[in-house]
Amino acid sequence: MSLPHVLLLHGLTGSGPTHWQNWLAGELARHGAQVDLPEFSSPDAPELDVWLAELRGHLAAAPPSSERVVAAHSLGSLLWLHHAAADPDPALRVDRVLLVAPPSPHFTGEPLIADFLDCPLDPAAVRAAAGDTRLVVGQDDPYCTLEQARELAAALRVELDVIAGGAHLNVAAGYGPWPAVFKWVRSDRVPLTPR
C-alpha cells in the first residue's frame, strides 16, 4: 500500500522537536511517505489571514495523484475549520483530516488566538474540504472540556475519539511518539488510541 502525502498543521508556538507531529513526520519519511511540516509565520503571534494563505499554498503544492491527509494539532485544527468554511477551491480538497485537541471555540484564556476562535462550525463545508474528518481529544484538556468536544463533534457531524488521560495530547501529556496516529495515517484505523 502506498503512503499518502501528509500535511501537518501545528498549533500556537509550533511543534517542538519532541512533539508527536515531529515524531510522526520522521516516521512517515522513514517509511517513504511525502511529509510537509511547515512552520507558519510568527507561530508565537499567529495571524489568521496569513496562516490561511500559507495553508492554501501548502495544499496547492500537494501532489493531486496521491491520497492527501492532514493532521492538525490544537490551533492548527481551528485553522483547518476556518479554511473549510471559506469555500476553498475544490482542487485543495483532501482525502482525510484528523483534528487533534482543538481549543474550544468558547476558550477565552489566550488572547493571541482570539481571531481563530470565532470559528464557523459548518458540517457541509467540512465535508466539502475533506472526504473524511475525525476529531480526537484528550480527557481533561485544559483548552476544551469533554462536553465542549462532544458539542464540537456534534456541530461538525464528525466522529470523536476521546483519549483517557490525554490532556492536550502534547509533549506535556506524554505525546511524543504516538504509534496510533501513525497507524491512522497509514490505514485510516479508527478509533485512535493512546500512545
Report d(CA 20, CA 174) in Å as an integer: 9
Report d(CA 176, CA 79) in Å as an integer: 22
Low-confidence ranges of the chain (pLDDT < 70): 1
Question: Which of 85, 80, 81 shows the shortest CA–CA distance to 59?
Answer: 80
**Is the full-model pTM beyond 0.95?**
yes
Question: pLDDT tens, 139-190?
Answer: 999 999 999 999 999 999 999 999 999 999 999 999 999 999 999 999 887 8
Report d(CA 93, CA 97) in Å as an integer: 10
Which amino acid is located at 175 in the chain? Answer: Y
User: How much is the pLDDT for 1?
Assistant: 57
CATH class of residue range 5-187: alpha beta
User: How much is the pLDDT for 27?
Assistant: 97
**64 class by beta-carbon count within 10 Å (0-12 exposed, 13-18 middle, 19+ buried):** exposed
Q: What are the E-state strand segments in the chain?
A: 5-9, 34-36, 68-73, 94-100, 130-138, 159-163
